[in-house]
Amino acid sequence: MKTNNSILFILLFILLKGNAQDLNSTLYLMPWPKEIKETSSKFNIDRNISISISGNNQDRVHNASINFLRRLSNRTGIFLNQGFPLVDNAAANIKIIFDKNADLSIEDDESYTLNVYQNNILLNAITDIGAIRGLETLLQLTNFNENGYYFEGVSIKDSPRFVWRGLMIDVARHFQPIEVLKRNLDAMASVKMNVFHWHLTDDQGFRVESKIYPKLHKIGGDGLYYTQEQIKDIVNYASNLGIRVIPEFDVPGHATAILAAYPEFGSVDGAKYSVERNSGVFDPTLNPIKDETYTFLENLFSEMAPLFPDEYFHIGGDENEGKHWNENEDIQVFKKEHGLKTNHDLQTYFNIKLERILNKLGKKLMGWDEIMTPNMPTTAVIHSWRGEKEGFPKGGTLIDATKNGYSTVLSAGFYIDRMLSVEHHYTSEPIGDVKLTKEERARILGGEATMWSELVTPFTIDSRIWPRTAAIAERLWSKKEVNNIENMKYRLKEVSFRLEELGMTHIKNSDVILRGMTNNQDISSLKILRNICEPLKIYSRNKGGTEYQTYSPFTLFADACINDAEDAVMFNTEVIKYLNAPNKKSLDILLSHLNIWNKNHNAFSQIKDNPNVKILEELSKNLSEVSQILIPTFSNKKISRDTFTSLQENIKILSKPFSDTELAILNSLNKLVEYSKTNYLVN
């Protein structure tokens, strides 16, 4: 089995390498720079490498330089003479020059120029954050040959296309400890993302310590929350990486955890609420006609705002269906008295009052696209999650909001929790072909990947964010014309390994889950299945939100599987190539896969009885039988009608989900079956 896997890996490497060379790219840069010229120069990396910094208040760049040297030393194994930036600028062979410190706002200049010569390296930037971005690019230029390590010779002029390149992490559904957040901030910085959107409250949890309303975190948080000192620590950690932190306190809906602590602010008088354990959209909603509600929110926001220096403050505002508002007679009377025809109008009334509260605190209100109504002030920022195209859905899209005068951020197309392919995210374009004025274009700030955490824990979250989010980072940083999918995949594979260097667990934890499923038996057969299976997509894993609760196990086969399953991607590519133009190279790759899957069931059967493994037996057995039939068939042997009928039955079984996963090669197998029917079936 090891021999077959080795052959498969070599074939995959050759395939990807070949694609990259065809595209005239051998660098593993991501995001791709705005302008780049490759030269014949190489800067050799040895123990004498050193850094100097010129610029006022060097704290950020100084920290980034130390981190750069540590990562470089670890990657190359070289013992450096200097592990810290030099005071003597003349002696350094890597010179960093910047003009000023960034304010951490959308106005920051993140541009830089980087020139790698044979004997020195020059990195120039307007701001310290631009210098940090340039250092990440330089580290990505690390390469090696038989003589040692070196930096590729280049001349780069780089700056981002969008000023807002974010990752939202939901810590309400599943609490994410500080160390999880920090390692993801490190990963964000490595691909030049600059906004951490911290979704702190929802029906399943309130995750911030409140000294004014302590029941919020004690009852609403189940004891899992961040102290205010921890909040400050994360904000400071992110700031050193050039990342802004945007908090989200979701109101008036998604408020079950708040009302579990303080039910008097709910829309149902005398109701008793408890923290929600399931997923979905729930009815508990803050009461928008009580003065006490706004006093509560003003006190709460006044306490929270100083913890987050950024000028933007996200209030959620999504998925409020208004059921409890409809059932409250006082609210219905209030709506009539104030000329509010719909619950949308009532929520706008609520949002406007919140905006005034936040304005007094020096904050700009931001909310999901439901907050956009005709009466909502254009000072609010619209976070579009339902679409970027004009006119669909009505009133909820990025372009509609932009043309109506709002600043906008896009998340439609970047919902990484839906478990869609990296191609889907990479081809999601914030602007598309829509004609915009200069002013309208400026109002499109950028986009955010969204990691909703109903189905992720601290153990699995990295594998759901990375490496796909690196491709999203490129979409938001690089020019629109940088859109070659195969070239992106070639670079992303290397970036994935580099993320692991930073401490990300997206690769290794998959094997840990499989070992746990088998009680530390041989997992080689499960890894083969994992590499062709993907988690069910678009929330079909947890239909109705009731199959899994917040305390359910997330150490199952589906949690070990990822998007874009490696062997499936390769197999599917070769099937298309072969069917379009039959050739020996593609056929050899197909047969190599089929031989592995044919033999795999024997190894799978050696795993001692285990309920979490036994559920995969049908998958393993039928995949083996399909492979066993197709191998001789594609060696130009005829297939009998009875055998073909058996093949169809096998495929039918493989078409169903197994342990909340789907067989990612199913469509390709179906194509091979149809090809067999046309070319090899005995009449």
Residues with active-site annotation:
319
DSSP string, 140-185: HTEEEETTEEEEEEEEEEE--S-SEEEEEEE-SSS---HHHHHHHH
Q: How far is CA 488 from CA 100, 128, 474, 485, 576, in A?
A: 33, 28, 9, 5, 20
Amino acid occupying residue 404? N
Q: How far is CA 25 from CA 19, 21, 33, 283, 490, in A?
A: 9, 6, 13, 53, 9
User: In the numeric block, which tokens belong to residue 540?
Assistant: 């079909």
The strand pairing partners of 534, in sequence order, are 662
**Measured distance between the N- and C-terminal CA atoms of the chain, rounded to whole angstroms:** 37
CA 655 to chain centre: 28
H or E segment at 661? strand 661-663
Rg of the Cα trace of the chain? 27
Matching residue, tokens 């109903």: 454
| Sequence-separated (6 or more) residues with CB below 8 Å from residue 671 | 575, 579
Q: Which DSSP state fits 609?
A: P
Amino acid occupying residue 36? I
| Sequence-separated (6 or more) residues with CB below 8 Å from residue 236 | none
Is 626 exposed, middle or buried, given 0-12, 13-18 or 19+ CB atoms closer than 10 A?
A: buried
- Distance in angstroms (rounded) separating the CA atoms of residues 590 and 578: 9
CA 97 to chain centre: 32
User: In the numeric block, which tokens belong to residue 550?
Assistant: 């917040």
Instruction: For strands 94-100 and 121-127, give the pairing.
Output: parallel
CA 187 to chain centre: 11
User: In the numeric block, which tokens belong to residue 174?
Assistant: 């599943």
Q: How far is CA 318 from CA 152, 202, 309, 383, in A?
A: 47, 11, 24, 10
The strand pairing partners of 409, in sequence order, are 383, 446
User: In the numeric block, which tokens belong to residue 411?
Assistant: 């998340």
Q: How far is CA 320 from CA 380, 448, 552, in A?
A: 18, 22, 26
**What b/e readout covers 62-97, taking b as 16+ CB neighbours within 10 angstroms?**
bebbebbbebbbeebebebeeeebbeeeeebebbbb
- Distance in angstroms (rounded) separating the CA atoms of residues 97 and 111: 12
Cα angle 173, 178, 181 (rounded to 5 degrees) comes to: 75
Question: What are phi and psi for residue 94, nearest 5 degrees?
Answer: -120, 115
**CB under 8 Å, gap of 24 or more: what pairs does 102-106 form?**
102/127, 102/128, 102/129, 102/130, 102/242, 104/129, 104/239, 104/242, 104/244, 104/309, 104/310, 105/244, 105/310, 105/311, 106/163, 106/164, 106/445
